[in-house]
Structure 1
Amino acid sequence: MLPIRRLAAACACTLLLAGASCDEDAPGAAAGGEAVAVPSGRAVTLLDVIMNAPGVEGAAARFRFIVPDLKAGEADAWADDMLALCQDYALPRVRDNVPAPSQIIISLSDRAVPFGEAAPEAVQFFEAYAPKGDACIWEMF
């Protein structure tokens, strides 16, 4: 029998992220592996989704993606793709959450990095957005 905490996390993930499987050891996290289209056509794969993580402005939804050939210094070249990941991928998946996240954080990494752990050898880019209606508004992170 699953402990209550794990059962609650599994139920919450099922309701919040229909169709995504959940890592029962990380409440609010959804397992990834799904290829996600971006305007540039580059290869982007979902790593995981972490809902209701504390953010600067309240609850945040973190969508973490893997880009195997991500290069340091290319952050500006990914701006349009990261905005598209927020507006076209993340925003529809958080629209009905209660409470709604006050911030959506999109991160790209060249490898899987455990959430919250330092990985100086990994190339990672992060952008934060405020969900406003059908748009993601970039926020200085």
Structure 2
Amino acid sequence: MIGLAPYPGPRPPAHLAGLVEDLPSGLRPIALPALVEEQAGEPVLVLRYVAPEIARARGLYDYDALAEDFLALCARDAEADGPEKVIVVLQDRAVPRGQANPDATQYVESFRRTATGCDWEGF
């Protein structure tokens, strides 16, 4: 089982809440509260965003249209003093972390934060 914890500290930084603008695709998702998980003994920052426009039924954005957004979100929201590993999740509706929802569209990417920014890890 994945252990979940809210973002360390009294609350997430202000830029981790609310509407996200200026993504390469033009998508404007809403940031959900960031989480820190422990995976294989390593802390992982999970950045989650909701964007109804990515729903399969709408067909407005597919993974390829959003590929550059993942890197932009990691670079924007991964704290320099936070966990090295970062997971970015774009979903069409708020799905509780660790729960399946076959009706939801979710795209997930994994990064490692380095001195030069976020490096894509892939799954």
TM (norm. structure 2) is 0.79
Aligned-pair Cα RMSD in Å: 2.4
**Larger Rg over CA atoms:** 1
Q: How far did 1:96 drift?
A: 2.2
Residue 131 of structure 1: aligned partner: 113
Structure 2 unmatched ranges of 5 or more: 1-5
Q: How far did 1:95 drift?
A: 1.2
Q: How far did 1:18 drift?
A: 3.6
If asked which structure has higher relative contact order (CA below 8 Å, sep 6+), I would say: 2
Give secondary structure in 2 for the equivalent of 1:14: coil
Say whether residues 1:13 and 2:14 are aligned partners: no
TM (norm. structure 1) is 0.70
Residue 30 of structure 2: aligned partner: 45
After superposition, the Cα gap between the structure-2 partners of 1:102 and 1:123, relative to the gap in structure 1 and judged at 3 Å, is same
Q: Which runs of 4+ in 1 moved over 6 A?
A: none
Say whether residues 1:35 and 2:14 are aligned partners: no
Larger helix proportion, structure 1 or 2? 1
Separation in 2, partners of 1:19, 1:71:
27
**For 1:1-141, what aligned pairs fall within 5 Å after superposition?**
12-14=8-10, 17-19=12-14, 32=17, 34-37=18-21, 38-51=23-36, 53-55=37-39, 58-72=42-56, 74-87=62-75, 89-91=76-78, 94-97=79-82, 101-141=83-123
Q: How far did 1:56 drift?
A: 5.1
Kept in 1, the 8 Å contact 2:91–2:106? The answer is yes
Q: How far did 1:13 drift?
A: 2.8
Kept in 2, the 8 Å contact 1:47–1:66? The answer is yes
Separation in 2, partners of 1:78, 1:102:
23
Structure 1 unmatched ranges of 5 or more: 1-8, 21-29
Separation in 1, partners of 2:32, 2:13:
16
Alignment length (residue pairs) = 113
